């Protein structure tokens, strides 16, 4: 059942790659909505990567997420209706920071709970 921790990461990565590399941009309900999509998408990616690869150092999570962000932005520049922008990259970087920050807080909370003995142990 350990493979289940990879499913959220794979799902988020597929959504980011699909939405980021399809020829037409995602429709927007309000101005600059795509920045919100970038922020939330990369926050989810960083958080789920920490879940999927718990022994991977935080620095590598940041580097890998930002590398994917750069690749998606470069890939968008090859489509006529898409534009790679610095503002999108800033939103991606902020999303990675938010996701990593949330994962650090979550790990500390779980660690405290385990130290207190309040954790629920699930048997195989």
Q: What is the share, in percent, of the chain residues with pLDDT greater than 70?
A: 94
pTM over 0.75: yes
Sign of CA dihedral 19, 21, 44, 26: negative
Kindly state the DSSP code that residue 53 receives in the 8-state scheme.
-
- Give me the mean pLDDT over the 106-115 stretch: 83
The pLDDT of residue 32: 87
Question: Does residue 124 carry a pLDDT above 70?
Answer: no
Instruction: Delimit the domains of the chain by residue range.
Output: 2-116
Within the chain, what is the greatest distance between any pair of CA atoms?
57
């Amino acid at each position: 059942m350990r493979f289940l921790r990879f499913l959220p990461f794979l799902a988020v990565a597929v959504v980011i790659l699909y939405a980021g590399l399809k020829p037409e941009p995602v429709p927007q309900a309000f101005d600059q909505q795509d920045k919100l999509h970038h922020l939330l998408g990369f926050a989810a990616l960083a958080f789920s990567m920490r879940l999927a690869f718990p022994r991977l150092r935080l620095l590598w999570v940041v580097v890998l997420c930002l590398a994917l962000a750069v690749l998606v932005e470069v890939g968008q520049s090859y489509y006529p209706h898409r534009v790679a922008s610095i503002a999108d990259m800033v939103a991606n970087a902020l999303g990675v920071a938010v996701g990593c920050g949330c994962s650090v807080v979550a790990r500390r909370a779980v660690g405290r709970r385990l130290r207190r003995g309040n954790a629920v142990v699930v048997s195989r």
